């Protein structure tokens, strides 16, 4: 039984609120069937990669340079497919056609700041700033 327009709007509103409150959890809930498709793409990519290795080895064993080059190209395509299949979707990504999640005021949800760099990097950046500020004047 399909949902009425009012129920669909309420469901979308609840989804936006959940996504704004905990985007990582919302993304994990949303990626059910998409995760299986990604694993399938990764498995296919590994198979293509292995086929490319086989072609490359045959091109090296038999003195056929074009076969080796073709094997290398197939390996690159397989590695790309495997990488794209294994790569996780970013937490801020939304499904196609959806607007960015918004809070009650209508503003876009804030993005998380990148993780702070280590103390060593902070010290190096401070030294660089001091050198630049104290440089020849």
In this prediction, residue 49 carries a pLDDT of: 94
Q: What is the pLDDT of residues 88-132, one digit of tens each?
A: 654 444 444 444 445 444 455 555 555 555 788 888 888 888 888
In this prediction, residue 79 carries a pLDDT of: 92
Q: Are 100 and 94 in contact (CB under 8 A)?
A: yes
Is residue 78's pLDDT more than 90?
Answer: yes
Is residue 45's pLDDT more than 80?
Answer: yes
Please give the share of the chain, as a percent, with pLDDT higher than 70. Answer: 68
In this prediction, residue 125 carries a pLDDT of: 85
Centre a 10 Å sphere on the Cβ of residue 4 and count the other Cβ atoms it contains: 9
Q: What is the pLDDT of residues 5-25, one digit of tens each?
A: 888 888 888 888 878 887 777
- Give the sign of the dihedral formed by CA 61, CA 65, CA 70, CA 76: positive
Tell if the pTM clears 0.75, that is, is over it. no
Mean per-residue pLDDT, 43-52: 92
Please give the share of the chain, as a percent, with pLDDT higher than 90. Answer: 25
Q: How far is CA 74 from CA 5, 38, 40, 85, 124, in A?
A: 49, 19, 18, 16, 43
């Amino acid at each position: 039984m399909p949902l009425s327009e009012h129920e669909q709007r309420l469901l979308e509103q609840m989804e936006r609120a959940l996504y704004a409150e905990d985007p990582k959890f919302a993304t994990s809930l949303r990626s059910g069937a998409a995760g299986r498709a990604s694993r399938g793409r990764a498995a296919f990519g590994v198979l293509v990669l292995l086929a490319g290795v086989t072609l490359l080895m045959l091109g090296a064993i038999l003195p056929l340079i074009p076969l080796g080059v073709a094997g290398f190209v197939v390996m690159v395509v397989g590695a790309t497919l495997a990488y794209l299949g294994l790569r996780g979707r970013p937490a801020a990504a939304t499904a196609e056609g959806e607007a960015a999640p918004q809070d009650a005021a209508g503003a876009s949800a804030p993005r998380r700041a990148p993780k702070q760099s280590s103390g060593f990097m902070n010290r190096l950046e401070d030294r660089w700033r001091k050198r630049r500020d104290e440089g020849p004047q």
